[in-house]
Amino acid sequence: MQIKPARVPAELLLGLTDSHLALVPELRTHIHNQVVQPLLALRSSARAAGFSLQVASSYRSFERQLFIWNAKVGGQRPVLDNDGQPINLKELSDIEKVHAILRWSALPGSSRHHWGTDLDIYESSSIAADYCVQLTQEECAGAGPFAAFHRWLGDAIATGNSFGFYRPYAADKGGVAPEPWHISYAPLAQVYARQRTEALLRQQLEACDIALKACILEHLPELFSRYVSVLEGVGSEE
């Protein structure tokens, strides 16, 4: 008989609590307390291969994601196209704006960073101290400063030597753009992904002051399918 995973609190799934987090002083970041040791093991493995793994971003609260979303809609933060060039949102319809933002930024309540299981990482030994990390495709491939590190990471994931981490945005599935720098701790994140539902997200979005709310709620089934559930092959089961 298959045992169902324990129900994860909605507050954790939606980024409304940080009670599950622990500080990792070596990396100056907070992550899920069950991810600390796997992350340190991955860091040690990277060091043995000649790389210095660093964290650019980890846990992000609902409120922080909401701030980012509203700032992008309002023009205080740039919205980029597939080539990394700024988009003029004034030329787009509301639903076109939503799709443009979702290409690189999650809806508040749907970000995997809410869980503390997902991190954006880079490699510091290949850059100068004053280098400004952008987290772009160009940095991670070809002659980019992080290319060798990401080749190593890809091999580690492919051979099962990544201590449970994988790349949820490794491939372009027509929703979120590929992000080789984004890693996720599968033993927890895949459980959380299956319990984060469209209904739960809708309830939270209805209760918050999010820009383009009417458009988002009208198209939420499509948005949830394209940008959220497609990653794990899970949907809106209760």
- What is the sign of the dihedral through the CA atoms of 96, 100, 102 and 76? negative
Q: So what's the pLDDT on residue 231?
A: 61
Instruction: Assign domain 19-230 one CATH number from 3.40.630.40, 3.40.50.2300, 2.60.40.1120, 3.30.1380.10.
Output: 3.30.1380.10
Tokens of 163: 């201590």
Beta bridge partners of 182: 120
Kindly indicate the confidence band of residue 84, based on its pLDDT and cuts at 50, 70 and 90.
confident
Average pLDDT over residues 155-170: 97
Judging by DSSP bridges, how do beta strands 118-123 and 53-57 pair with one another?
antiparallel
* Unique residue bearing structure tokens 């004034």: 90
Judged by phi (left if over 0) then psi (alpha if -120 to 50, else beta), residue 15 lies in: left
Beta strands in the chain (DSSP E): 21-24, 29-32, 53-57, 118-123, 165-166, 182-185
Q: Are 73 and 102 in contact (CB under 8 A)?
A: no
Average pLDDT over residues 65-87: 93
Q: How far apart are CA 174 and CA 57, in angstroms?
A: 24
Q: How far apart are CA 123 and CA 152, in angstroms?
A: 11
User: Which residue type sits at 213?
Assistant: K
Model confidence pLDDT, tens digit, residues 60-74 = 999 999 999 999 999
Average pLDDT over residues 93-105: 96
Q: So what's the pLDDT on residue 52?
A: 98
Whole-model pTM: value is: 0.92
Q: So what's the pLDDT on residue 3?
A: 47
Q: How far apart are CA 37 and CA 201, in angstroms?
A: 30
Q: So what's the pLDDT on residue 6?
A: 80
pLDDT more than 70, % of the chain: 94
Model confidence pLDDT, tens digit, residues 204-218 = 999 999 999 999 999
